[in-house]
């Protein structure tokens, strides 16, 4: 059989692209090297009946109505508002930093305007922000940077904040009110039946064929197709001809405890204590009732599945070389976090997938 599109990778990008192409009458084959679809968003029930996110917590949030409406065709949502606490100096305080964080941490009773004045008095004034440390200390000063960001960033990325692009920490807001939600996007939630079911429904189309445990190099010569959309690591596609791009991976230690609740909220960050960066308690995402609870301890590492492109100037230079190789290709397109070597939230990955299909087809496909 000849396919209109071969899509490499069955993460949220590849699945979104597959669905809208299939609805446009295109024959699509997805090749996925893992034994399941869904990429790092994949979830499953563990042996204790708890719905866990196998590759760490994924909370959907977006300000893009078209993305929300598209995914809502395939799932109902649990209206979950994500709240995170950080363990700082023996206290659990809201994160991102807000009015309650400052007051609780320093035993103060500041008003919003007083908090703004306080941060203005401690922040480091800079003419140019060249790295992530600069982006933080220019907003909140040295002490809060050291408490919340310095060690967490080093654990998370394996390199100091002053060696990372400023965008890494810039996306973390500072709030001058008591809003303790991690996100303030218009649309927020967790798929009611889980991400796995969401993706199964998206893939359920007569024009989509899914091939699991199929690495691209092992199957590409045996498949006939017109166009290729590649969502894997861009450097891997080109056989690392310009060197390897660096990725940060994660290791999860899942544990089950015979208790109704392990911690006060779904996620607690540990910037300074212990080797792990956070503990996630999964039943809190959808309000699941069970006699026990499952948590994961999250350890960033260098080896394993590529999770996060590492935004350094060295990697940017290597990526630019691969972009020049892309321009030489015909009917080959790169997408997703790994294909674009760019950190993307789920909604942005979905949005970029929609845009790619629009560009390929010349119109928006619903």
Domain ranges within the chain, ordered by starting residue = 2-81+186-245+309-361, 98-170
Q: What is the pLDDT of residues 18-37, one digit of tens each?
A: 999 999 999 999 999 999 99
DSSP state of 221: G
How far is Cα 228 from Cα 268, in angstroms, rounded to an integer?
41
How far is Cα 343 from Cα 335, in angstroms, rounded to an integer?
12
Q: What is the pLDDT of residues 295-310, one digit of tens each?
A: 999 999 998 889 999 9
Q: What is the pLDDT of residues 117-165, one digit of tens each?
A: 999 999 999 888 889 999 999 999 999 999 999 999 999 999 999 998 8
How far is Cα 14 from Cα 92, in angstroms, rounded to an integer?
39
pLDDT at 128: 86
Question: What end-to-end distance do the CA atoms of the chain give, in Å?
Answer: 26
Arithmetic mean of pLDDT over the chain: 94
pLDDT at 362: 61
Burial classification of residue 303, based on how many CB atoms lie within 10 Å of its CB (0-12 exposed, 13-18 middle, 19 or more buried)? exposed
pLDDT at 366: 45
**Per-residue pLDDT band at 359 (split at 50, 70, 90):** confident
How far is Cα 268 from Cα 259, in angstroms, rounded to an integer?
17
How far is Cα 143 from Cα 47, in angstroms, rounded to an integer?
43
Do residues 282 and 294 make contact, with C-beta atoms less than 8 angstroms apart?
yes
How far is Cα 122 from Cα 182, in angstroms, rounded to an integer?
24
Q: What are the angstrom distances between the C-alpha of 169 and each of 2, 76, 149, 155, 303?
A: 46, 32, 8, 14, 23
For residue 216, give every residue at least 6 positions away whose Cβ sits within 8 Å of its Cβ, in sequence order, or none: 8, 31, 33, 230, 232, 237
Q: pLDDT at residue 221 above 90?
A: no
- The model carries a pTM of 0.93
How far is Cα 244 from Cα 354, in angstroms, rounded to an integer?
29
How far is Cα 153 from Cα 168, in angstroms, rounded to an integer?
9
pLDDT at 288: 93
Q: 60 φ, ψ to 5°? A: -80, 135
The length of the chain is 366
For residue 106, give every residue at least 6 positions away whose Cβ sits within 8 Å of its Cβ, in sequence order, or none: none
- What class does CATH assign to 2-81+186-245+309-361? alpha beta
HSE-CB at 35 with a 13 A cutoff on CA atoms is 2
């Amino acid at each position: 059989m000849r396919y209109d599109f071969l899509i490499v990778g069955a993460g949220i990008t590849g699945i979104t692209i597959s669905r809208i192409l299939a609805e446009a009458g295109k024959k699509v084959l997805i090749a996925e090297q893992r034994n399941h679809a869904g990429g790092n968003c994949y979830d499953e029930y563990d042996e204790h009946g708890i719905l866990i996110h196998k590759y760490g917590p994924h909370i959907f949030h977006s300000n893009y109505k078209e993305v929300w409406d598209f995914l809502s065709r395939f799932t109902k949502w649990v209206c979950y508002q994500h709240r995170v606490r950080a363990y700082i100096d023996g206290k659990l305080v809201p994160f991102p930093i807000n009015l309650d964080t400052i007051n609780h941490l320093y035993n103060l009773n500041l008003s919003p305007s007083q908090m703004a004045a306080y941060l203005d008095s401690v922040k480091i004034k800079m003419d140019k922000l060249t790295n992530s440390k600069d982006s933080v200390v220019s907003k909140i000063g040295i002490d809060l940077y050291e408490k919340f960001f310095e060690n967490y960033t080093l654990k998370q990325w394996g390199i100091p904040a002053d060696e990372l692009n400023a965008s890494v920490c810039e996306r973390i807001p500072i709030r001058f009110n008591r809003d303790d939600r991690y996100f303030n996007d218009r649309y927020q939630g967790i798929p009611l039946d889980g991400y796995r079911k969401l993706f199964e429904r998206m893939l359920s189309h007569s024009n989509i064929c899914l091939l699991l445990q199929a690495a691209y190099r092992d199957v590409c010569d045996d498949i006939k197709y017109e166009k290729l959309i590649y969502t894997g690591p861009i450097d891997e596609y080109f056989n690392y001809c310009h060197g390897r791009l660096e990725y940060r991976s994660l290791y999860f230690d899942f544990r089950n405890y015979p208790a109704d609740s392990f911690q006060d909220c779904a996620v607690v960050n540990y910037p300074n204590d212990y080797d792990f960066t956070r503990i996630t308690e999964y039943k809190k995402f959808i309000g699941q009732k069970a006699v026990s609870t499952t948590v994961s301890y999250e350890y960033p590492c260098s080896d394993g599945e590529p999770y996060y492109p590492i935004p350094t100037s060295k990697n940017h230079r290597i990526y630019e070389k691969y972009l020049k190789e892309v321009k030489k290709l015909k009917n080959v397109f790169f997408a997703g976090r790994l294909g674009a070597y760019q950190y993307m939230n789920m909604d942005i990955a979905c949005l970029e997938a929609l845009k790619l299909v629009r560009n390929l087809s010349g119109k928006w496909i619903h």
